[in-house]
Amino acid sequence: MDREIERKFFFSPNLWSAKALKSTVLEQGYLADTGAWEIRLRRAGSDCRFTVKKGVGLDREEWETRPSGPEFEALWGRTEGQRLVKVREKYGWKGLTVDVDRYGGKFEDLVVAEVEFPDLEQARRFVPPRAFGPELTYDPRYKNRALAGGRDPVPRGFPGGDDQEWAFGVVPFRRGPRGLEVVIVSTRRGDRWIFPKGQPETGIPPVKVALAEAREEAGLTGRVVGHPIVVPYVRETGTINLLLFPFQVTAVADRWLETGQRERKILPLGEAPAHGEVIRLGVEMLVHQFGTVGS
């Protein structure tokens, strides 16, 4: 199989002035109950394709072929209830192709940008332009397969105000004696491990909320050094949207505001993913965005 190395972002059309090279209406359908395999049928006019993908996140395996018309129609009938329609606009940008997708139906106010890369190094070095909002690569709710099944992600763009469907936090990392390390904290109830995070505060930008939580919940000082990502955060009251900023730690306090209320761990990168799905997604982002951070 080939590899698909792709990053996905919220997109603000009003901040984008480039002229589209091409605009195409895409119909996509997905076969149900295929486990770890994503099996997609796509039609753009008379061009029909059958695609198989495996994996999650930025780097996936991909295989594609062009079925005959009758073959496509026979399989298309099996995608009932797992379909979507979107308009794809192609743009050239600094030697790369930017695909902007405008969805139809219940997702008509969702606009995203996808950029495919020849290798992981170019994906890591990519600096998102101003029209690109938080990254969606690590949020499974924004996979086309999930959208086609009718799953409705709450956010359609960058959060603002005091929207309580959001929380803002950091993915703290540093280079320590054991190599790259990640800092995590427990909830106050001690029932799971999380990254430092907090609820929106009226008039305070998300990044400032996140930096304050790093100090108060984990005793961390540092700086934001990369592009924020969106991931789902499951609570007893339902799933909210967690905006996480990559945060390079420069100092770790012995005592801080919530000392005694939470446990703090500083872990080698390889040990952190076992501490929960949100931690795993944050670590995956660090590896992809920074590679050998702190060297």
Q: Which sequence positions are flagged as catalytic? A: 30
Cα angle for residues 263, 264, 268 (degrees, 5° grid):
140
Find out whether 36 and 48 touch, Cβ atoms under 8 Å: no
Find out whether 142 and 57 touch, Cβ atoms under 8 Å: no
Residue 135, CA distances (Å) to 40, 128, 188, 203, 240 in order: 23, 9, 28, 23, 16
Q: Which helix (H) or strand (E) holds 247?
A: strand 238-252
Residue 189: other Cβ atoms inside 10 A = 7
The structure tokens listed for 237 are: 């009251």
Which candidate, 158, 148, 94, places its Cα nearest to that of 122? 94
The structure tokens listed for 246 are: 């990559």
Which candidate, 119, 1, 146, places its Cα nearest to that of 64? 1
